[in-house]
């Protein structure tokens, strides 16, 4: 925006000049957005390549693979933490964690029963991705255990993706 205290305030040349500046600013904004999208895509590809490298280097060590996934998922997802669980005989064991989850007692390494009353438990029992977000009260009905975690930690978003084998079509 321009303003002036003269009459007539702006000539057609002034208007054209300001419109040209505005168009250049639009191009700069578009270039910045494109650059940021490309950087985000590169970051995701880099994280995927690192996970694939870990898988290839640890073909018999599942814990190293799960730890690598937890390590690589935090930054591209703008997450505070990540936890990988392995479920055996109905008990979920923490096999990888990164970020704030490293010191969380709510993720015992000794194993815990996770039922459909929590986001990770629902993902494990249903075999489906579960994404829940909002204030703790938003979780009360469907995920009471997750609501407790949200109240105690201030976390407002949860995403759980089950690894199913064989993969679902």
Q: pLDDT tens digit string along 140-160?
A: 899 998 888 888 888 888 888
Q: What percent of the chain has pLDDT over 70?
A: 85
Predicted confidence at residue 36, as pLDDT, reads: 92
Contact (CB, 8 A) for 155 and 80:
yes
Lowest mean pLDDT among 42-46, 55-59, 67-71, 137-141: 55-59
What is residue 35's predicted lDDT score, i.e. its pLDDT? 93
Give me the pLDDT at residue 58, please.
75
Q: Which residues contact 130 (CB under 8 A, 6 or more apart)?
A: 119, 120, 122, 123, 158, 159, 160
This prediction's pTM: 0.62
Q: Is 5 within the bounds of a domain?
A: no
Asked whether residue 119 is domain-assigned, the answer is: no
Give how many domains the chain has, as a whole number: 1
Largest CA distance in the chain: 83
Cβ partners under 8 Å of residue 47, min gap 6: 72, 73, 75, 76
Residue 51 has a pLDDT of 81
Q: Give the per-residue pLDDT at 31.
A: 92
What pLDDT score was predicted for residue 63? 80
In a domain, 33, yes or no: yes
Domain that holds residue 45: 11-84
Considering the domain boundaries, does residue 114 fall inside one?
Answer: no
Residue 61 lies in a domain: yes
- Residue 127 lies inside a defined structural domain of this protein: no
Q: What is the mean pLDDT of the chain?
A: 81
CB contact at 8 A, 93 and 85: yes
- Nearest 5°: the CA angle 105, 106, 112 is 110
Would you say residue 31 lies in a domain? yes
142 secondary structure, DSSP code: T
- The answer to whether position 133 is within a domain reads no
pLDDT for 149 equals 81
User: Cβ distance 123 to 117 under 8 Å?
Assistant: no
Q: For position 102, what pLDDT does the model report?
A: 60
How many Å apart are CA 147 and CA 165, to the nearest integer? 29
């Amino acid at each position: 925006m321009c303003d002036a205290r003269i009459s007539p305030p702006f000539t057609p040349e002034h208007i054209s000049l300001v419109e040209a500046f505005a168009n250049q600013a639009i191009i700069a904004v578009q270039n910045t957005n494109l650059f940021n999208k490309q950087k985000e895509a590169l970051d995701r590809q880099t994280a995927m390549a690192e996970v694939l490298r870990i898988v290839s280097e640890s073909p018999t060590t599942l814990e190293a693979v799960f730890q690598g996934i937890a390590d690589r998922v935090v930054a591209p997802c703008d997450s505070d933490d990540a936890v990988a669980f392995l479920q055996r005989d109905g008990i979920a064991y923490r096999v990888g964690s990164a970020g704030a989850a490293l010191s969380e007692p709510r993720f015992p390494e000794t194993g815990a029963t996770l039922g459909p009353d929590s986001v990770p438990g629902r993902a494990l029992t249903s075999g489906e991705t579960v994404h829940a977000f909002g204030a703790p009260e938003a979780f009360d009905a469907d995920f009471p255990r997750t609501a407790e975690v949200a109240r105690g930690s201030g976390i407002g978003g949860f995403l759980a993706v089950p690894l199913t084998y064989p993969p679902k079509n």
